[in-house]
Amino acid sequence: MKYDISSTVSLVSRIHSLSVDFLRKKLNEMGLPELSSSHGYILFLLSRDEMLTMGEIAKKISKNKSTATVLVRKLEANGLVESFSNKDDARSKFVKLTSKGKEYNDATSAISKNLLQTFYRDFSEDEKQQLLFFLQRISENFD
């Protein structure tokens, strides 16, 4: 299919859908639970910061606290994270990865690398940097 300038948003949407399908297929092949991108992002955040409060998670994923709580509960139900009360503030809960969550992140890291290899197939390093630059500019237009 040939695209023109007026259909770039459609093309970005198509690429997103193809990426999601790719990830779902790979997760299924590995017998891993299928989670939403918000779930995956929470797991990624917890791999970078050992522990986060529910409020910090909500802010980082750009969702309200009740939505973040629902997302974290699903991760808890899958044994990927655990939450516990903050000793210093009973209104606040901390969330951290379980060993199963760390294993999930390791597996999905390999899948992500595979996705990026597919995404950037036949791109030069310069082309990758150019694409990143333009996508960042587009993203900033919505901030």
Q: Measure Cα distances from 88 to 56, 59, 68, 83 in Å.
A: 16, 20, 21, 15
Question: Pick from 22, 24, 63: which is nearest to 42 by CA?
Answer: 63
Residue 92 DSSP class: E
| pLDDT (tens place) for every residue of the chain, 143 residues total | 788 888 999 999 999 999 989 988 998 898 887 788 889 899 999 999 989 999 999 999 999 999 999 999 999 999 999 999 988 888 889 999 999 999 999 988 989 999 999 999 999 999 999 999 999 999 999 98
pLDDT tens profile 20-56: 899 889 988 988 877 888 898 999 999 999 899 999 9
pTM of the predicted model as reported, rounded to 2 decimal places: 0.74
